[in-house]
Amino acid sequence: MDRKINIAFTIVITVFSLFLLRLWYLQVIKGDEYKKIDEKNRIRVIDIPAPRGIIYDRNNNPLVKNVLSYDISMLKEDIPEALAPLADLARLIGLPEENILRMAKASASPYESVKLRRNVSFDEVARIEARKTDFPGLLVEVTNVREYLYGQTAGHLLGYLSNPTPKQLSMPEFSGVPREAFIGQYGIEKSYDGILRGVAGKKIVEVDALGNIIKFVRIQKPLKGRDIRISMDINAQIEAEKSLEGKAGAVVALKADTGEVLAMASSPSFDPNLFVAGIDQDKWKALISDPRKPLMNRAIQNQYPPGSTFKTITALSALETGQISERTSEYCGGSTYFGRTFRCWKSGGHGNVDTHRAIVESCDVFFYDIGKKINIDTIAKYASAFGLGRPTGIDLEAEASGNLPSSQWKLKVKKEKWYQGETLSVAIGQGYLTVTPIQMARLAAGLVNGGKLYRPHLLLGERPELEKTVDVESRNLDFIKRAMLGVVYEKGGTGGMARSNIVSIGGKTGTAQVIGGAVSGKKLSAAQQDHAWFISYAPQLNSQIAAAVFVEHGGHGGSAAAPIAKRVIEAYFNPPKPEGVEEQKEAARSEVQEVLQQQDEQKPDEQDLTGQYLPALEQGEQPQDTAVQEKQEEEGD
């Protein structure tokens, strides 16, 4: 008996020793590891999103604001599976049952919080809070969301936010950005995300097994993102978008002497507020499958032939290389022959035209004749000098470069030599040549500011970045500019619809053919309609603004695009104050007449100067529009 008891006790001692070894293993050998797990158990790091910086326009009008938003979320494991409570929950939070289930399925861990709805109204929050006890795990979280104050206006320019993609999260520039954060994915929001984003804060808390916060260990406050001011003028922007309403197209207005973007509209557009609550699948699908491509920023991504607006460059290169002079005169009989018949847009012909009239009336035959003689590479050289054929470098992503053909380009891409006949097409802005509206706006600015090519930019406070000053005779530039004023103000000018009562506007129309050799008289369908262009500037002396307008299938540049340019330019200069209007008009009129006088001396027979269309403000000479004055003061900072 004693022996058996001794055996039993020996077994007990053995088991105890085994337990002690196990204890030693768990507590001493693995102790630190388990301490970490223990901490992980109860220490939670909660991100505090940083308020994003505010975006202001050039006149300090806020374009966005941050507003409190209420989000509804629930731990995945707390989402009811039984039909009755699920239906009950669906009713309470106003989300279809299948959506709830789909969202629950999408989250990996049962302990992950599933965001069921974002941006819930305060009334709904009150209703949900009242019944919260029926659904354990249902949470109402308060976050900051972006509100775009002007809705659809400047949607392409401001862009939108969304949660970082998995790929972005793995990139170093987004390190420390919480998965739940909103970052810029398009437009200015994306380009300057680094500035606007700020630094998310952290709340380190101890929680119990049910996720109740027991105490705060440490709080690291979020760092608010920095505010930025962009060069856009909201009045000009609104006007640009309004004038494009119902059309597809783009307007780009630049400050002629700095490259600052005053307005950049692309139509159709979208409302960035749609993305605030996390855009739902249906709306997103509708946006990306819309044949009118509302998500495409036509101002920087549309590539179409510039049409006759390009004649400014053709004329300039011919003048520079001595192919023509200011006095060169040609006869336009409606068409010319070079291997085949090249027709002028005016079937009856323009008769005798000199260089000035050829630009004013946009005579194709005159430019075909240049095209017969001039080397394509000469045109390419000047076009390239004014920034065509490459992105302008504006601070927005995904800019297109357009296409600037040359003999080398043709060999390389088309594997054949350049034919002179093709130069005729390029001379009138057709053929292989394609451009973007922003390129044309910059080109217009370069033509009227003495050949200075700035990098277009939106962020204010940057020094204007002068890419280069084009090496051309200023006499030739002045000649082109005078012709562009004539386009708007002279009899027979193709851009008469851009005439303004407030400011002198010059420009050049363009009508880019969609189908070659259209038979006149035959009605074209909407998709075959020509694209309308107008490049412009204002005022004539010390030009401040340069703008390009493009209307897809808009028809004639003079009728479809020119009035838009006028509206945008006028919005920028603002309607003058009632007092002094007459004085201003008078002053503007005298200025335009003075400029035109110089031409009239050369061609008195062409005079048709319409006193009632008036224009122009000359700086320093007369009392200025106060709005203009303010703008100039602000540009100093």
Partner 1 sequence: MIDRRILKGFDWSFLGAVLLLSMIGVLTIYSATRPILETQHPSFYVKQLNWTVLSLAVFFVVVSIDYRWFIRSAYVLYIIGVFLLIIVVIAGRKGMGAQRWIDLGFLSFQPSELFKIAFVLTLSRYLSRLESGARLGIKELSKICAGFFILPAVLILKQPDLGTMLMVMFIFVSMLLTYGIRKKLIMTVLIIGLVALPFAGKYLWGGLKDYQKNRIIAFIDPQADPQGIGYHITQSKVSIGSGGFLGKGYTKGTQGPYRFLPEHHTDFIFSIFSEEWGFIGSVVLFLLYLFIIWKGFDTARNARDIEGTYLATGITYMFTFYFVVNIGMTLGLMPVVGIPLPLMSYGGTALLSNFLALSIIANVRVRRFASYYK
Taking each helix axis from N to C end, the angle separating 581-602 and 474-489, rounded to the nearest 10 degrees, works out to 120
Residue 233 β-bridge partners: none
Question: Which of 21-29, 94-102, 141-149, 337-345 is the region at the interface with partner 1 (rule: CB under 8 A)?
Answer: 21-29
Decide whether 109 or 474 has the Cβ nearer to partner 1.
109
Decide whether 34 or 216 has the Cβ nearer to partner 1.
34
- Binders of partner 1 in range 214-243 (CB under 8 A): 214
Angle, CA of 231, 236 and 238, to the nearest 5°? 110
Q: C-beta of 217: minimal distance to partner 1 in Å? A: 12
At 507, phi and psi to the nearest 5?
Answer: -175, -175
| Residue 38 in contact with partner 1, rule: CB under 8 A | yes
Question: Which of 8-16, 368-376, 427-435, 551-559 is the region at the interface with partner 1 (rule: CB under 8 A)?
Answer: 8-16
Contact yes or no for 271/464 (Cβ under 8 A)? no
Q: C-beta of 33: minimal distance to partner 1 in Å? A: 7
Question: Which of 7-15, 144-152, 455-463, 524-532 is the region at the interface with partner 1 (rule: CB under 8 A)?
Answer: 7-15
The residue behind tokens 């479809």 is 560
| Residue 87 in contact with partner 1, rule: CB under 8 A | no
Q: C-beta of 17: minimal distance to partner 1 in Å? A: 10
Residue 490: count of CB within 10 angstroms of its CB: 25
Please give the Cα distance from 567 to 500 (Å, whole number). 9
Nearest to 142 by CA among 68, 222, 202: 68
Burial call 161-172: b when 16+ CB within 10 Å, e when fewer: bbbbeeeeeeee
Q: C-beta of 104: minimal distance to partner 1 in Å? A: 16
Decide whether 4 or 327 has the Cβ nearer to partner 1.
4
| Residue 466 in contact with partner 1, rule: CB under 8 A | no
| Residue 207 in contact with partner 1, rule: CB under 8 A | yes
Question: Which of 208-216, 314-322, 528-536, 590-598 is the region at the interface with partner 1 (rule: CB under 8 A)?
Answer: 208-216
User: What positions carry a catalytic annotation?
Assistant: 308
| Residue 30 in contact with partner 1, rule: CB under 8 A | yes
| Residue 9 in contact with partner 1, rule: CB under 8 A | yes
Q: Write the interaction track for partner 1 spanning residues 374-393; mark x where CB under 8 A is met and - where it is not.
A: --------------------
Q: Among residues 83, 84, 142, 210, which is the contact residue for partner 1, using CB under 8 A?
A: 210
Please give the Cα distance from 314 to 433 (Å, whole number). 12
- Is the bond preceding residue 604 a cis peptide, omega within 30 degrees? no
Decide whether 15 or 466 has the Cβ nearer to partner 1.
15
| Residue 474 in contact with partner 1, rule: CB under 8 A | no
* Range 617-621 contact pairs with CB under 8 angstroms and sequence separation of 24 or more: 617/503, 617/504, 617/539, 617/573, 617/584, 617/587, 617/588, 617/591, 618/539, 618/541, 618/542, 618/587, 618/591, 619/541, 619/542, 621/587, 621/591
Task: Tell me the H-state helices in 281-375.
Answer: 281-289, 298-301, 311-320, 355-360, 364-373
User: Edge-to-edge, what's the strand order for the sheet holding 201-207?
Assistant: 43-48, 201-207, 213-220
| Residue 15 in contact with partner 1, rule: CB under 8 A | yes
Q: C-beta of 213: minimal distance to partner 1 in Å? A: 9
| Residue 5 in contact with partner 1, rule: CB under 8 A | yes
Q: Among residues 212, 289, 474, 612, which is the contact residue for partner 1, using CB under 8 A?
A: 212
At 427, phi and psi to the nearest 5?
Answer: -60, -30
- Tell me the number of residues near partner 1 by CB under 8 A: 38
Provide the 8-state DSSP code for 273: G
Q: Among residues 141, 208, 397, 586, which is the contact residue for partner 1, using CB under 8 A?
A: 208
Provide the 8-state DSSP code for 339: S
> And the tokens for 292?
């009118």
Contact yes or no for 259/442 (Cβ under 8 A)? yes
| Residue 209 in contact with partner 1, rule: CB under 8 A | yes
Provide the 8-state DSSP code for 395: S
Decide whether 35 or 131 has the Cβ nearer to partner 1.
35
| Residue 132 in contact with partner 1, rule: CB under 8 A | no
Contacts with partner 1 by CB under 8 A lie at 1-2, 4-5, 8-9, 12-13, 15-16, 18-20, 22-24, 26-28, 30-35, 37-38, 41-42, 110-111, 206-210, 212, 214
